[in-house]
Structure 1
Amino acid sequence: MQSLEELIQQVEDQPYFKFPHEIAGQFEEIINVIKEQGDPETLKRIGLEYSLFSLQIKNPLIQPEGERSERFTFSCQLTTGEFWPDPNRFDDEALNYFLTRMRKTKSVFLRARYSDFLFEYGAELPGANRYIYAKELVPSFVTMAQTHTESEHDHDFQGLIDLHRAIEVSLLMRNEELLKQGLTVVSGLLNKYVKNQEYPWLRYISKILRMIERGPFASKYPTELREQCIAALATAAEHFSHDSFPDIAPQFYSELIEWGRLKFFTDDEIRDFQRRIGEVYERHAERQGSFISKAHFYEAAMEHYKQQGFAERIDLMKVKIREAYEALETSDEMKAFKVETQIPGEQLREIQDEFVIDDLEIALEKIIVNSQLFYPKVDVVTEVAQVNQEATPLLSFIHHSAIDDGRKVNQTNTSDDVSRHAFVQQYILDLSLRTSALLVPVFQRLITEKKLGPEDIIRKIESWPLLHRKNAPLVQNGVEKYFNGDYVGCMHILAPQFESTLRRAFQLKGYPTTSLKKGAVQHEETFNAFLERADIQQALGSDFYELINLLMVDQLGFNLRNNVGHGLILIEDCNLSHCTQIIFLFLALRSLDIPDPVLNTDPPVE
């Protein structure tokens, strides 16, 4: 059986490690071998090695520039809630052990981790300091960078990460001799990448050189390095401008812009780079055969132009996006999904019979009293939507968009957006079923079997004490159009009249419904803003509020009021179902008990 020293020597003798966690794996194997017969002190030391090499680092090449965070972080969170390994929990005994190992090891890969960790956490150890660690760290990381980028290993990204660390520490220590060691490798890699047209790695070389440019030795490193890098970036940006991957060229133009902020380009040249990024997205949009893809890349261009202030391009992108979405709506890219379900006809008929009675006054009163039967309960829909989400978790990673009349009116970007989207989908499905299976059949049967007429509906609506006299004539006209089968006229009258009726009802109860403009001018709040108020939602109740919201103003819902108001309503949306739903809203107001508002009525302080 191998001794502990032999096992550790095997790790020391490994000629190459791609990642530190590979070294951690070697020490884990040693722990498994010696845990039965190893003494506690030996196990503790090997455990320290395992923990040290299991630490993760914050990647400086992908971390936002200007953010200085702790270099080391944990690998996982235990079931106890603790983080492992915790870089802050290594005591002085452990740090001294790492210091001894740093001085003794012959492996550049092991020495790099010991010195790197001690540089961050071991500055207070007796007989040691950051300069001592830096003298071990920089050559180790430079050697690792050279090894990683050799053709034998071809792991340039890890090599560039190590090179970045070597130069970062050189600059932190303000040590020009250490910096020169890293610059030698930078120069060699830059020549290699330019010669072989390995353009993707140039961005990371550029980041390293810009870090030097902002440091204490900006005037001392070879200017030809900077000039060669900038010229190569410009070549790469132009090369990728017509590439099939639209996000590559903008990254190179962004690097050129960063050099511009260091005063190596004029403001006009920076502006030109910013414009070219937008043009990359535009060209890519024009090459797409898919209208969805066209719209996506025109949107990317528009967002970029918006951020950079290219107003003249924004308007053109709006037109292009609308054209793409309008073409999409009539293309075969859009698929209609139908879900068939069986509804027990006899049971539905029995429910309908409860409302289809000879006494029309009582029939309408029963609809009002039992109004909750005709639209969903929010808590039930929320629960069902949540169950559906849990059953299909991968869907939460997909962006969902809503398109209406050639416009994207909604897109999910956060987990809350996804949950809201799932809720609305389930709500609309539930509401549509209740409308087609109960609400519309009840009204139609009352009309055909019991001779329900417009005067019966109007009488019931007008008996509500909060119906304003200004609304009554128009509501009456809208109801009459419903009974005459004029659903276009009905929709265009009753949708805005419901908004006005509801707003004036709250006015009559003493609620403010206006917003102040300059000169004490008062304007009525938009219906969206009115419904978003907490006091209004509390008065309506969550179930009735959501019904009004999704029928009238929410763009994820039917948005009837806004579409009527802006002339966007389609003739197919002016139908029996929607008009019946709006008349139902008027009737349901009869069961609404609006509480008195909470207003500050204290007299002015003398």
Structure 2
Amino acid sequence: MDLFSAFEQRPLQAINEIDVARKLQEQLKTINLETEPKLYADMLAFQFLDNYSSQPSTWGGHYQPSRYIQTDTGYEPYPNPGLITTTVLEFWQKQADILAHPVLCTRFSGLLYEFTQTITGTKVSYLTAQKYSTALIETVEEKLYTIEKYAVKKLAKALEVASSYNSNPLIQRIKTQIFALEQPIPITEEKNKWGFTFDLLLNGKKNWLDQKEELQVINTLESRLEYLKNVDPWASASSANRLAQYYQKKEKPDEVKRVILELGHAYQKKAATEISMQAAGQLDELLHIYRKYQLHTEAAKVLIQLRELGKKSNEEMKSVISEHTIDTTELKEHLEKIMVGDPETVFPLIVEMLIPQLEITKKELNDTAIKHPIPYLITNTLVDEKGRPVAQIGPIKTDFEGHLAQHSGRQLYMQSLLTHLLFTLATDKGYLSPENTMAFLKKSCILEPERFDIISRGIEAFFQKDYQIFAHLIIPQFEEAIRNLLEINGGNILVDKNKAYQLKTFHQLLDDPIILQVFGESTIHYLKILFTDPRGWNLRNRISHGMIAPNLINTHTAQRLFHALLILGMIRLIEKPIA
């Protein structure tokens, strides 16, 4: 059975490898491939997919599996190199030698080029590599591809292969086709369809251009920048970044600065027409560009702009108020039933109920991202009350921890009702009082007696609802208690910095394996969100450095800090008996 005769008829037609695979499946659906090794090899060849993305494939090469099949041990890629035998390679070699259609020849010679050494341990032959690169070039020369954007990808692969064995005649053909693809694209084209001549022939591993060709490419990029900077800053960025890279290599810093400043004017012009939130996003991009090219003075000016835009963004945000009446009767009744005993039993209950379980939080985040995906696909910059950028959270695929921290911080706000009910009930029933709290904390092995007075003053301030005093007194004691815990267990609280020993930061203390072992993963995550993570509440740093608005140190903030203080009270010394 000749599976490919229909594709070989003259004049040759543009074909797509996926369409070929579908037609093969139709032709072979009644054939037992186990008894037809040649037909099996043909079918297997077109089950692989070309990897035209910027990310490496499953095996790190050009080809990747078309799907994943569920097995008893999980999901396995199909096809995979384990299905390729020397017999399969022999059949592929025959097809590569006899088939006339460049697309078909590309597939068989390409698979040989990629997998021969893996399967046989023998380096692929020069003739196979030449056949592969030639077939790729002919596919573009004769316009036998069906997806326009893949033409450049095919030429890029052809250049990679041809340059590996220094085939200058083929490289000249590739250059001709690359120029032929880009030259017709007008200077006014805003979509980033151009620039590949620079990327492949001038800015790659080797400069393949002569002086005249190089000047032509650079002049075209300059013309695109000149036009696009007045139309679209993102399109002009594609030109400006390439030019800046070129001038950097040529050691022309003035030219680098010129093109980046022209790009900066384009961003500033666009930002001036946008609302503050959008303008801040655009200028944040510009800030990173300035920093990339070491334009520090310009970057500092943009930082000032971002702070002002952050303030305006908060003012422009409209409050959306939705009132709901929540019946707390059943919750109160439940808490009444379980809140019995003495402070030694009630305080641990409060501690446990208000620490979010990390695995549950992760599941909630994943579920939310599936139901409402858009916010989790983009990069977000978090700003404080004065518009200062404090953290950046990338797409959830690459920054799950960032989204988890932000989600955890929101979760603490969502628990404000439960937190308030617990504290109110514990106070009304006489468990939560200054005296009982101090008695509980004094049993902790990590709170030093000389600090009891200042802790007592802080607790008195809490019950007097002087939350500013409470927060400022208690947070330093918490940090010192964690240092004590680390030292008691033989850990190190110092770091060597600039030939001097300094105390570890609060965040570094919470990262220590000893502290993790004592508290557990959920509690450590909670404490980081509460005290040190800028994507969470970050109370330690915001309060210590005066970055938090006074009105935000409120009842709920204070109750969370008090809850953290109770966690310290649960750390008791267990003395090992002397042998």
**TM-score normalised per structure 2:** 0.79
Distance 2:475 2:91 in 1: 77
Contiguous gaps of at least 5 residues in structure 1: 357-361, 598-606
The SS at the match of 2:143 is: helix
Structure 1 residue 248 and structure 2 residue 235: aligned?
A: yes
Alignment match, 2:288: 303
Identity of aligned residues (%): 17
Distance 1:563 1:198 in 2: 44
The SS at the match of 1:77 is: strand
For structure 1, which segment, 103-112 or 270-279, has the greater mean C-alpha deviation from structure 2 after superposition? 270-279
Letter in 1 for 2:390: V
The SS at the match of 2:548 is: coil
Alignment match, 1:85: 79
Say which of 8, 23, 28 aligns to 1:26.
23
The SS at the match of 1:243 is: coil
Alignment match, 1:76: 67
Structure 1 residue 143 and structure 2 residue 146: aligned?
A: no
Deviation at 1:478, TM superposition (A): 3.0
Say which of 505, 509, 513 aligns to 1:526.
505
**Contact 1:402-1:409 within 8 A present in 2 as well:** yes
**Contact 1:102-1:114 within 8 A present in 2 as well:** yes
The SS at the match of 2:280 is: helix
Size of the alignment, in residue pairs? 562
Alignment match, 1:235: 223
TM alignment of 1:372-383, pairs within 5 A: 372=351, 374-378=353-357, 381-382=360-361
TM alignment of 1:18-417, pairs within 5 A: 18-32=15-29, 35=31, 43-59=36-52, 62=54, 70-80=61-71, 82-86=76-80, 89-120=83-114, 130-133=125-128, 136-137=131-132, 140-148=135-143, 155-193=147-185, 200-210=192-202, 214=206, 218=208, 223-244=211-232, 246-260=233-247, 263=250, 266-276=252-262, 280-289=266-275, 291-332=276-317, 340=324, 342-345=326-329, 348=332, 351-352=335-336, 364-372=343-351, 374-378=353-357, 381-382=360-361, 385=364, 388-389=367-368, 392=371, 394=373, 396-397=376-377, 399=379, 402-405=382-385, 406-413=387-394, 414=398, 416-417=400-401
**Contact 1:281-1:297 within 8 A present in 2 as well:** yes
Deviation at 1:397, TM superposition (A): 3.7
Greater length-normalized contact order (CA 8 Å, ≥ 6 residues apart): 2
Alignment match, 1:435: 419
For structure 1, which segment, 396-405 or 157-166, has the greater mean C-alpha deviation from structure 2 after superposition? 396-405
CA shift digits 1:534-577 (9 cap, x unpaired): 22333345565455444333334433332221112322223334
**Contact 1:515-1:523 within 8 A present in 2 as well:** yes
Letter in 2 for 1:181: R
CA shift digits 1:41-64 (9 cap, x unpaired): 6x543332232233333439x579
Distance 2:252 2:349 in 1: 71
The SS at the match of 1:479 is: helix
Letter in 2 for 1:10: A
TM alignment of 1:466-485, pairs within 5 A: 467-485=447-465
Distance 1:92 1:517 in 2: 58
Distance 1:83 1:507 in 2: 50
- Cα RMSD of the aligned pairs, angstroms, is 4.3
Contiguous gaps of at least 5 residues in structure 2: none
Letter in 2 for 1:185: Q
Deviation at 1:133, TM superposition (A): 4.2
- Aligned pair in 2 of structure 1 residues 325, 92: CA closer, same or farther (>3 Å)? same
The SS at the match of 1:78 is: strand
Alignment match, 1:578: 557
The SS at the match of 2:537 is: coil
**Contact 1:376-1:431 within 8 A present in 2 as well:** no
Letter in 2 for 1:316: K
Q: Which structure has the highest helix share of the two? A: 1
The SS at the match of 1:409 is: strand
Distance 1:304 1:379 in 2: 37
**Contact 1:202-1:232 within 8 A present in 2 as well:** no
Deviation at 1:512, TM superposition (A): 5.3
Deviation at 1:428, TM superposition (A): 0.8
Distance 1:195 1:454 in 2: 75
Distance 1:487 1:142 in 2: 73
